[in-house]
């Protein structure tokens, strides 16, 4: 088995099941006596109705939803050692424009918060349900961009620390999630290539919702459209199996928690 990382990033096109798979992986880690959380980002800009970080437990999983404004406030407060000054800076039009207009600045702030959480609790494993495809590329390259912008100083030092963790194969791993369809697969391969060009960490593809194993014993009894779908999925996976780290079956359950429970036993390869 591969060594356990501290940050697992799940990404891919919208609708491929990233959220369910991310939560199922958290359940897998918890069942194996690891401390793990499910984490998301609330948005990429700061607006007039900014929210707080949310931290709650849902169906046995600790779910953390990070607020960009709250993360920015915490970062500036630590740098200036003043909550009052940090609150003023975050609310200035200039700072809001900087975050909202500079590509990747929001991810720099979010990643800083994730690393802070890891520093506070070295046993914690963060499972990030990341933004889809193009946003994931921006997130991965954001720290490199800011390293080039800020040649020295506090932000430069913090960026170096983020890069060292984000690009550490023993700390971070990325899972690209795909459906077993040709279009979804091609998009996943393009995303994997783009990520590999930007980071040395492992980037693997997981196929979700594979129908064929459920119907193979009754394939001739299926409606033609459903039969063709199952056979096409089977062909796609057979032809590209070497590029797939994990293939997960379709679930007949309708409840998301039940699906998560079903997936847990198949997720050891995601470590």
| Pairing of the two strands 61-66 and 54-58 | antiparallel
Q: How many CB atoms lie within 10 A of CB 6?
A: 21
Mean pLDDT of the residues in the chain: 89
Residue 12 confidence (pLDDT) above 70: yes
CA distance 207 to 184: 10
Residues 11-21, mean pLDDT to the nearest whole number: 92
Residue 135 confidence (pLDDT) above 80: no
Residue 113, domain member (yes or no): yes
pLDDT tier, 49 (very low <50, low <70, confident <90, very high otherwise)? low
How would you label 208-218 residue by residue, b for 16+ Cβ within 10 Å and e otherwise?
bbbbbeebeee
Whether the Cβ atoms of residue 271 and residue 2 lie closer than 8 Å to each other: yes
Q: Is 33 left (phi over 0), alpha (psi -120 to 50) or beta?
A: left
**In this structure, what are the phi and psi dihedrals at residue 66, rounded to the nearest 5 degrees?**
-85, 130
Residue 2, domain member (yes or no): no
pLDDT tier, 139 (very low <50, low <70, confident <90, very high otherwise)? confident
Residues 244-265, mean pLDDT to the nearest whole number: 93
Residue 69, domain member (yes or no): yes
The structural domain count of the chain equals 1
Residues in contact with 183: Cβ distance below 8 Å, sequence separation at least 6, in sequence order? none
CATH number of domain containing 206: 3.40.50.300
In a 10 Å sphere around its CB, with 0-12 CB exposed, 13-18 middle and 19+ buried, how is residue 172 labelled? Answer: buried
Residue 1, domain member (yes or no): no
* pLDDT of res. 234: 96
Whether the Cβ atoms of residue 72 and residue 123 lie closer than 8 Å to each other: no
Domain span at residue 52?
7-270
């Amino acid at each position: 088995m591969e060594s356990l990382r501290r940050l697992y990033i799940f990404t891919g096109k919208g609708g491929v099941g990233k959220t369910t798979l991310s939560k199922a992986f958290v359940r897998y880690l918890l069942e194996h006596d690891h401390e793990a959380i499910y984490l998301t980002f609330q948005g990429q800009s700061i607006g007039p109705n900014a929210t707080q970080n949310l931290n709650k437990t849902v169906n046995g999983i600790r779910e953390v939803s990070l607020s960009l404004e709250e993360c920015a406030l915490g970062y500036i407060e630590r740098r200036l050692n003043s909550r009052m000054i940090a609150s003023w800076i975050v609310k200035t039009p200039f700072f809001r424009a900087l975050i909202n207009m500079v590509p990747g600045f929001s991810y720099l702030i979010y990643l800083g918060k994730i690393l802070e959480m890891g520093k506070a609790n070295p046993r914690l494993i963060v499972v990030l349900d990341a933004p889809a495809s193009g946003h994931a590329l921006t997130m991965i390259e954001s720290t490199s961009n800011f390293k080039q912008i800020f040649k020295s100083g506090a932000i430069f030092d913090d960026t170096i620390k983020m890069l060292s963790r984000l690009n550490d194969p023993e700390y971070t791993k990325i899972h690209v999630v795909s459906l077993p369809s040709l279009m979804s697969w091609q998009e996943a391969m393009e995303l994997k290539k783009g990520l590999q060009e930007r980071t040395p960490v492992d980037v693997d593809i997981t196929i979700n919702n594979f129908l064929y194993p459920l119907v193979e014993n009754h394939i001739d009894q299926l409606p033609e459209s459903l039969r063709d779908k199952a056979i096409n999925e089977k062909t796609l996976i057979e032809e590209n199996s070497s590029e797939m780290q994990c293939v997960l079956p379709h679930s007949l359950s309708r409840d998301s928690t039940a699906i998560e429970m079903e997936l847990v036993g198949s997720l050891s390869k995601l470590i």
